[in-house]
Chain A
Amino acid sequence: MSWLWGNLNWVVFAPLIGAAVILRCPRTAVQRMQRIALVTTGLTLLLSLGLLTQFEAGEATLQLEQLRPWIPAVNIWYHLGIDGISLPLVLLTALLAFLACVGSLGITERVKEYFVLYLLLETGMLGTFVALDLFLFYIFWEVVLVPMYFLIGIWGGGRREYSAMKFFLYTLAGSLAMLLGILAVYLHTGSFDLIALRERAGADFPLGLQQVLFLAFFLAFAVKVPVFPFHTWLPDAHVDAPTPISVLLAGVLLKMGGYGFFRISYPLFPDGARWFVPAMAILALINILYGALVAMAQTDFKRLVAYSSVSHMGFVLLGLASLTETGLQGGLLQMVSHGLITGGMFFLVGVLYDRTHTRDLTAFGGLGAHLPLYAGLLTFFALASLGLPGLSGFVSEFLSLLGAFPTQQLITALAIVGIVLTAGYMLLMLQRVLLGPRNPRWHALPDMTRRELVTLVPLLLLIAFIGLYPWSVLRLQAASLAFLLRLVGGAS
């Protein structure tokens, strides 16, 4: 079974095969296409769990590699592999893609196109996390853009066309800067291979060039994360995307940016990274505080969650800026944790929106007594988001702060304010939605359906599990992050 189990090719391209099968279905066979999509994403999830069983957690090297020449004339290789940095994100992606696929069963319009694009998107996302050749990485990175554009633009709401185009233009502008960076790396070293390049640890690049290259890659990743001031596409795209796509946007796409720092910027340009760290810390702080403050001012439920993402992703940046192992652990875990929590939050916003067709927080109230299941879940995810101890968000944010404190004391101290602000807007949101007098408009709202529970309960369990037993994930990451830290040469 080794050709299937623990084979990265299948993990990445299984969704594409599913898409090809759906392409051959007649337009009207909605149920069949839904089933194929579910089976495909489910199988992909199983296959990615298979990676977990084959993975040696103590090793910092790349595992389960696939290596084939692709365009030998320019030394481009088809090179896949995972390590402790990518594995948690691959699992997160496969899980969210499956759950969001369950959530997509509510899509009734142009179903065929939807699932084809959806599965293409999944291939792009998974490929980004396992590609070890810069060129291949770029291809997967860009393959994500096109389906995402359509998914927001066709099935979204509000100003969907505007938001989809804005998303496309912003990310492409960032990616193209990265493309120049990739070309410059190749012209200096003759290689696109991330592993070979990382072993050189920036020895090929003088400091000035490292700084330029770091900035080129930074532009691409900063748009994706998003780092203030490149974040303005995010609220539009997240709000106007359909629910399952918002889940993937927040849960996976933002992580592609964070992952880029871990996989490319830090190991390839260590001097550039150290040079940039002070700026990174300040940007992290701005993200945390600015995101939280703006979230606090929102009356649109979805926009609030969108801005909370800006704030939460700030902790990833803070972890990166710490240059300590604890901080990097926290930053990477925060990506997983935020994916789970915010994914859940977007599902919950979608649940309410499906029933009321409004996201105006002032229009709700008193739903707590009326929808007990919903209230329970919303409370759980809101508490997870504000960093309640015992849940995953607490562990990751705490580790980020703990790791950053020795190297960035002032900024860490200020960042703690962000947690207070998060508690502020999350509790305010809970109060507006669940407590207070009941709006008579919503007297006949049904509670959660079984399908909605299926999408949320796995997330809930994982958040609690990671919160109680964070070593389960940290264990996977530890060796790779320690190796990364040695490359960058920060304090241990």
Chain B
Amino acid sequence: MIAGVGQDLRLLLPELLLTAWAFGLLGLGMSRALRHWTTPAGLVGCVVTGLVLWGLTAQASGDGVILGGMLAWDPVTRFFKWFSLGVLVFVLLLARGDRGVQEEERGEYLCLLTLVVVGMMLLAAAHHFVLVILAMELISMLSYLLVAFPRHDPRASEAALKYFLFGAFTSGILLYGISLLYAATHTLDLGALRQAMEAATGGQLTLVILGVTLVLVGIGFKISMVPLHLWTPDAYEGAPIPVAALLSVGPKAAGFALLVRFLTASVGSHQPVWLPLVGGLAVLTMTFGNLVALAQTNMKRLLAYSTIAQVGYLLIGVVAADRLGYASVWFYLVAYLLMNCGAFAVVSVMTTVTGQETLEAYRGLAQRAPGLAALFAIFLLSLAGIPPLAGFLGKFFLFGAALSAQLSWLAVAGIINSVIALYYYVNIIRLMYLQVPVEQTPIAWPWSLRAATALAAVGTLILGLAPSRLLHAISRSLPAL
């Protein structure tokens, strides 16, 4: 335990700083003269927060819980703080290229996006159910707003409404689950939960089982686990692309951090019960995501179902539930951040230029914009898990974790799914490269999207070819078992 509120707040500095920065961006957006500086200012905020975080990490103050047990300060939280910052960088770059947002609303837009990232940091660090709820609601409320941000687009409003109804419902379920756990164990502290749960017998045990199930439902909603994925395609389709990109990576990653913390810190001796359940859901999730993705004609919906499938792969590492399993989840999350944000950046360019979201718009893209098509091909092949790209190495570790945890069936399910997934990813490549373009006009795209795709592509290649540094960092960012 680290003493002193002052010390605790110091460790909370990245979140505080980003929150302040978010409101700064809001103010900046109100000024007509300074408005177009919002994106650079946001990026500067990322850098400053990164420096602060670096300083805090380098000081290596002891791990523990802060603010009276509300938040954890440990390798996992630090890893996800870095990860969240990475998400923010991509989202800011994507948001810069988003023409769907009015110039005078940009400050507000970026403010909300930044606050979601703060929510992610908090959720990944939450060590107490009260904070879990707060952070989750922060993310959810802001996400509803962001999906509905294009006010005059009925599709966005519809998507936000669906998302909201579904989200509010699962929030209720989560709360109910937590209250059941509280009734059974008399604690909301994730650290103390384990002992209390293991001591539970008889009627208490029933409550615990019910409670854990309902909490898993709540988390499953956030990470789009089947059968709680229903909101995903609609929300992605209606939302502005940067928001869809954010939703596909950010809250999912934070959800995984929470899931891992919940399972390691709480479930304990109940693991033999829950892990096969989650494993079965993992297989369902990836299979469902992939099979439905096969039939999609809208690029955003396709990416939504692809996200669901990727969540299925990620769950494999959670089920493996050992160092290798968690390390592979962490690695895959980073790979996924890069390749998915890259893909969304390309979709953003195409949607802006052609005004279409259909797969048809990508026909013959290789001849129209060779660079853009090549980048998209890299992201898609990485998502499909083709070496030497990041996605391949991620799957390599995930399947390896499954085998090493004696879960061959999960690895085999992952392999079969990878073959199914290849079809729809390569189908896009087929349209881009093997078909003749309908239109010949070259495609112009803004610097921010160029930067985002370049960053993502370089990252995807480096992670695939020279992953040693990241692996080293990850090996020091694993939860204690």
Contacts and interface: CB of A to CB of B under 8 A. Distances in A.
B23 interface: no
Nearest to A174: B419
B400 A139 contact: no
A143 B387 contact: yes
A138 interface: yes
Interface of A: 71-74, 110, 113, 138-139, 142-143, 145-146, 149-150, 153-154, 160-161, 164-165, 168-169, 172-173, 176-177, 179-180, 183-184, 186-187
B404 A187 contact: yes
A142 B408 CA distance: 22
B467 A71 contact: yes
B332 interface: no
A92 B387 CA distance: 25
B311 interface: no
Nearest to A173: B419
B468 A73 contact: yes
B399 interface: yes
19 contacts: A138-B387, A139-B388, A142-B386, A146-B381, A153-B433, A153-B434, A154-B434, A161-B434, A164-B430, A165-B427, A169-B419, A176-B415, A176-B418, A177-B415, A179-B396, A179-B415, A180-B403, A180-B412, A183-B411
A183 B392 CA distance: 13
Interface in B205-264: none
A169 B423 contact: yes
A71 B471 contact: yes
A160 B433 CA distance: 12
B396 A176 contact: no
Interface of B: 366-367, 381, 386-388, 392, 396, 399-400, 403-404, 408, 411-412, 415, 418-419, 422-423, 426-427, 430, 433-434, 467-468, 471-472, 475
Contacts of B471: 71, 73-74
A145 B475 CA distance: 32
A72 B475 CA distance: 13
A177 B408 CA distance: 12
A149 B434 CA distance: 10
Contact of B430 (A110, A113, A161): A161
Given A146-B381, A173-B419, A187-B400, A180 B411 contact: yes
A73 B415 contact: no
Contacts of B408: 180
B362 to A, nearest CB: 15
A160 B434 contact: yes
B388 to A, nearest CB: 5
B475 A165 contact: no
B325 to A, nearest CB: 13
Contacts of B388: 139, 143
Contacts of B475: 73
B424 to A, nearest CB: 11
A139 B403 contact: no
Contact of B422 (A153, A168, A179, A187): A168
A136 to B, nearest CB: 10
Given A72-B468, A172-B422, A180-B403, A145 B386 contact: yes
A149 to B, nearest CB: 7
A71 B433 CA distance: 33
Nearest to B417: A176
B381 to A, nearest CB: 7
Given A164-B430, A172-B418, A176-B419, 20 more contacts: A73-B472, A113-B366, A142-B387, A142-B392, A143-B387, A149-B426, A154-B433, A161-B430, A165-B426, A168-B426, A169-B419, A169-B422, A173-B419, A176-B418, A177-B415, A180-B403, A180-B408, A180-B411, A180-B415, A187-B400
B396 A183 contact: yes
Contacts of B411: 180, 183
A110 B471 CA distance: 40
B387 A139 contact: yes
Contact of A184 (B403, B430, B434, B472): B403
